[in-house]
C-alpha cells in the first residue's frame, strides 16, 4: 500500500512540472469591422511611428473581448491587438494596457512586445491579433484573428 501511495505522489508531482501551465482557451467574440480615420484629432497618436490607441469594448463599439489596442509600426504597417490577456483569459482582470514600449496585464504581470509576443510574466501565448487593412488614412479592423 505504501508503494502505491508513493507511486501516486510521484506521478502527481511529475505532472506539475509542465512547460505550459494549465490554462483556458482564448475566447473569440465576432464583431463588426471597426473603421478609423487616423487623420482625425482623436486618433492623432496613430500619426507617428510607435504610436498607439486603445479602443475600449463598449456597447456602441463592441470590438474584441475587452477592446483593442491599435499600434502604428510605420506608415504602412499597423497592428490591432486584443486587450484580453492570453494567460487565463477568462479572468475578470485579464486586461492588457498599452505603454510606450510594451503592453502589460497588471493582473498576471505578463508583458508583451508590439508584435504581440510575450516577453515576461506568466503568458506563454501571443495576444490575439486582428487583421487590419490600410487605405490612405483609413484603417479597417476585422474580427479575423491572424495568429491563433
Average pLDDT over residues 73-90: 95
pLDDT surpasses 70 at 123? yes
Give CA 79 to chain center in angstroms.
11
Domain boundaries, the chain: 28-145
Residue 87 and residue 120: Cα distance in Å, rounded? 12
Element (H, E) at 12: helix 2-15
pLDDT surpasses 90 at 5? no
Mark 17-42 as b/e (b = at least 16 C-beta within 10 Å).
eeeeeeeeebeeeebeebebebeeee
CATH homologous superfamily of 28-145 equals Rieske [2Fe-2S] iron-sulphur domain (2.102.10.10)
Beta-bridged to residue 139, according to DSSP, are: 36, 134
Q: State the pLDDT confidence band at 19, using cuts at 50, 70 and 90.
A: low
pLDDT for residue 26:
83
pTM, rounded to two decimals:
0.83
Q: What is the mean pLDDT of the chain?
A: 87
The percent of residues above 90 in pLDDT, for the chain, comes to: 76
Amino acid at each position: 500500500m505504501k508503494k502505491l501511495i508513493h507511486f501516486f505522489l510521484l506521478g502527481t508531482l511529475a505532472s506539475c512540472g509542465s512547460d505550459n501551465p494549465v490554462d483556458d482557451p482564448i475566447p473569440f467574440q465576432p464583431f463588426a469591422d471597426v473603421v478609423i480615420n487616423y487623420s482625425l484629432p482623436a486618433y492623432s497618436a496613430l500619426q507617428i511611428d510607435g504610436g498607439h490607441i486603445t479602443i475600449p469594448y463598449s456597447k456602441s463599439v463592441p470590438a474584441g473581448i475587452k477592446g483593442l489596442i491599435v499600434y502604428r509600426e510605420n506608415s504602412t504597417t499597423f497592428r490591432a491587438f486584443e486587450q484580453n490577456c492570453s494567460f487565463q483569459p477568462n479572468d475578470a482582470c485579464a486586461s492588457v494596457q498599452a505603454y510606450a514600449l510594451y503592453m502589460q496585464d497588471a493582473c498576471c504581470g505578463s508583458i508583451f512586445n508590439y508584435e504581440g509576443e510575450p516577453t515576461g510574466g506568466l503568458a506563454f501565448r501571443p495576444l490575439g491579433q486582428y487583421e487590419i487593412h490600410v487605405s490612405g488614412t483609413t484603417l479597417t479592423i476585422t474580427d479575423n484573428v491572424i495568429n491563433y
